[in-house]
Structures are given as C-alpha cells and as structure tokens.
Amino acid sequence: MKRNGFTLMGIILVIILLGILGITFTIKFSGFAEVKLSSAISKLASDIAYAQQLSLTTQLYHGISFDTVNEKYSLFCETTDNLIKDPYTGEDFIVDYTKGEFQGVNLHSVNIDGGREILFNWEGIPCNSAKTKIIIEATITLEYEGRTKTLSVVAETGKVNW
C-alpha cells in the first residue's frame, strides 16, 4: 500500500532548515544598517578633511553647510552660495541623504558653535559661520534605523574623530 504525504522526519527537517535560513537572513541584514551608517560617517569625515585641505592649499575659507531639514550637506568656498565642484562628478558638491547610496541616513543633530556651518581658515583651524575660531568641539550625529554615530571636530586643530 502506497501512502501519500510527508513524514514527521521530513517536516522537522524542513522546519530546522527554515529556522537556520531565517537566523542567517536576520544576522546578515541587521549588520547592513551598521555598515551603511559607518560608510556615511566615513564619507562625511573625508569631506570635512577635504574642505580643510582646500583651505590650507588655497588660503581661502572652505566649509560645509548642513541642512538638517532636507537631510543634505554641501561644500563651499568663502560663502554658502559658492559651492565647490565634486572632483569625481564635476557637479556641485552636495551629499543628499534622501537619495543614492546613503538614502535613509538622517542628519540627526549638528552642533557647530550653535550653528550649522563649519569653515576652515588658511591654517586649517575650524571656524563658525562668522569666520571666528570655534571654541568647543563641533559634533555631527548621523542616524540610520535607530542606530547613531557621532563625528566630532576638535576646536584647536580640526582633527576629525568618530
């Protein structure tokens, strides 16, 4: 007599395999948020260092303006309406967290001497929007899926820590 159906052992094996796949999937994609946030903070750190390097080499103020409402930042020379060009794309240097590789990352908070801009003078020292040297460490916090990372810029030197 031939029986149609599943054996108990077959059903248990399928449940175990689905459990293993579920755990693997969860672990893999929970790490994705951390990688994306780390990539975004690393890009921000390198863009701040780039603005500082431009100030040192050109002897002009270069800076970054943060727009927490529209989730983006831009690099500029002397004034915020004079955006510098991205050396890779040739377009205005704007990083927009609402699209592209960093979509979903939020500019959680920006504290630069009470403002939203950090500039570097010809010595590479960080300044506020009034072009006076900042006296306390500047901080920028990014957030993605409940995780946060904070980047700081040392007041006296412009060293970026994160």
pLDDT confidence tier of residue 151, bands split at 50, 70 and 90: very high
pTM over 0.85: no
Question: DSSP character for 149?
Answer: E
* DSSP SS3 for 36: helix
Q: Domain 9-161: what homologous superfamily?
A: minor pseudopilin epsh domain (3.55.40.10)
β-pair partners for 139? 111, 152
DSSP-derived pairing of the beta strands 147-153 and 117-120:
unpaired
Q: How far apart are CA 66 and CA 117, in angstroms?
A: 6
* DSSP SS3 for 85: strand
> Cβ(147)–Cβ(37) under 8 Å?
yes
Largest CA distance in the chain: 92
Q: What is the pLDDT of residues 98-148, one digit of tens each?
A: 999 999 999 999 999 889 999 999 999 999 999 999 999 999 999 999 999
Question: For the chain, which residues make up each domain, given as ranges?
Answer: 9-161
